[in-house]
Amino acid sequence: MRLWVARILEVEPMTGFPVAYPSSSEGLMATPAYMSASAKPACIQSGPACTQFSGLRRSGFEQCMRVSSSFADLQQFVTARSSRGVVTMAGTGKFFVGGNWKCNGTKDSIAKLVGDLNGAKLEDDVEIIVAPPFVYISQVKDTLTAPIQISAQNSWSGKGGAFTGEISAEQLKDTGCEWVILGHSERRHVIGETNEFIGKKAAYALSQNLKVIACVGEKLEEREAGKTFNVCFEQLKAFADAVPSWDNIVIAYEPVWAIGTGKVATPLQAQEVHAVIRGWMGKNVSSEAAKAVRIIYGGSVNGANCEELAKKEDIDGFLVGGASLKGPEFATICNSVTAKKAVV
Ligand code: PGA
C-alpha cells in the first residue's frame, strides 16, 4: 500500500516556503533539495563535468530507462543518471528559450521591444521564440529580424468556425506562428482549462503543424502536500493520451508558485522535477522521446538567476514571462546557453 504522509520539516531558504515531502518508502523527495552537496543523497548529486556540448543527453540513459513501475523506480533513474556523460541530443538539440509576453504591450512598446531584440547579440546555439498577444503577432512578424520564431499563447481545440473570441491553429499558421504555448498555469487556473481540453488543443495544433510548448506544474499547496510529481504526471498524461508524437513538443515545467512571484525554484528543485519528468517520459512514452524532449523551466527566471539554472543537466532552457518584456535582459537569458556549455 502506498502511504503518503506530508511532513513539513524545514523552510527553504530561497523561496521561504516550507519543505514538505512524503515519508513513504516510495517517495522521491526524501531530502530537501537545497541541502549541501555532502549531505545530498545520490539522487540529487550532479554528474561529472563533461567537456563537449552537443546537446543535453547523457550516455547512461539507455541503462537508466530500465526503470519503471513506481516512484522508487524513478528515484533509481535519477540516481543512476548521476554518472552519465554527454551524447548528441536527438532533434535540434538546442537550448530553448521562450518569451511569453502574456497580455502586455502596445504597438509602441512592442516596436521598442522588437527593436531591442533586433539589436541584441544572440548566441547561435539557442532556439528562441517570443509569444506576443494575438493582436500584435503580425506587427512582430513584420518587424522582427533577429533569429527568433513566433509563438501564440493559446489556440482553439479544433477547426475554426463559430467560436467567438477564439483563434484557430490554421489562423496562427497563416500569420506566421510556428509555436503555441498550451496548458499555461494562467489558462489552467485563471481561465479554468482542464487537462483533457488542453490535450485536445495540443493534438489539434500539432495536426496543423504548429509546435507545442506544453506547460505543467504544481500549485504551492500541492507542493506542500507532497503532490508535485503526481500533478505533473497527470498533466503530462493528458498530453500523452491526446498527441500522436512528442517530436514537436517542448515541455515547460513551471511551478505555479514561482510564476510572476519573484520566487524562483532553486536550481536543485527544478532539476529534480525535470529529471523525474524525463523518467516519466521514458516509462510512459518511450526512451527515445525521453532522450529527445527538451524540458524547459519557467517561473521568475531573470538575468541574474538564469545561469545557475541553465547549468543543471535536465534544464534545457527557459520559458520567461516578466523578464522577456525587457529586450537586453531576455537576450542575457537566451545567452545563458554559454553557462550550460561551460559545465557539460
Ligand atoms: P514569469 O512567468 O517569468 O513572469 O514568472 C513565466 C511564465 O508564466 O511563463
Residue ranges in the chain modelled with pLDDT below 70: 1-92
Helices (H), the chain: 61-64, 71-80, 107-119, 137-143, 169-174, 185-186, 195-207, 220-224, 228-242, 267-284, 287-292, 306-310, 327-334, 337-343
The pLDDT value recorded for residue 24 is 31
189 belongs to the catalytic site:
no
Nearest protein CA to atom 2 of ligand 1, as residue: 321
Nearest to 133 by CA among 324, 331, 327: 324
Residue 93 is predicted with a pLDDT of: 73
- Domain 95-340, CATH number (from 3.40.50.720, 3.40.350.10, 3.20.20.70, 3.40.50.300): 3.20.20.70
Could you give the CA distance from residue 288 to residue 204 in angstroms, rounded to a whole number?
A: 23
d(CA 203, CA 208): 9
Task: Please give the pLDDT value at position 235.
Answer: 98
Q: Ligand 1 centre from 51 Cα, in Å?
A: 32
Backbone angles phi, psi at 193, to 5 degrees: -70, 140
Residue 286 class from Cβ within 10 Å (0-12 exposed, 13-18 middle, 19+ buried)?
Answer: middle
Cβ atoms of residues 156 and 204 within 8 Å = yes
* Residue 309 CB less than 6 A away from ligand 1: no
Closest atom of ligand 1 to CA, residue 100? 9
- pTM (2 d.p.): 0.79
SS3 247: coil
Rounded Cα distance, 312 and 87, in Å = 16
Rounded Cα gap, residues 233 and 216, in angstroms: 9
| pLDDT, position 342 | 87
CB 282, CB 77: distance < 8 Å: yes
281 beta partners: none
Instruction: Return the pLDDT at 317.
Output: 97
Please give the pLDDT value at position 73. 52
Going by alpha carbons, the residue nearest to atom 7 of ligand 1 is: 321
Centre of ligand 1 to C-alpha 149, Å, is: 18
Listed by start position, the domains of the chain span 4-79, 95-340
At residue 106, the pLDDT reads 98
Is-catalytic flag, 329? no
pLDDT digit string, tens, across residues 194-210: 999 999 999 999 999 99
Q: List the catalytic residue out of 184, 193, 224, 274.
A: 184
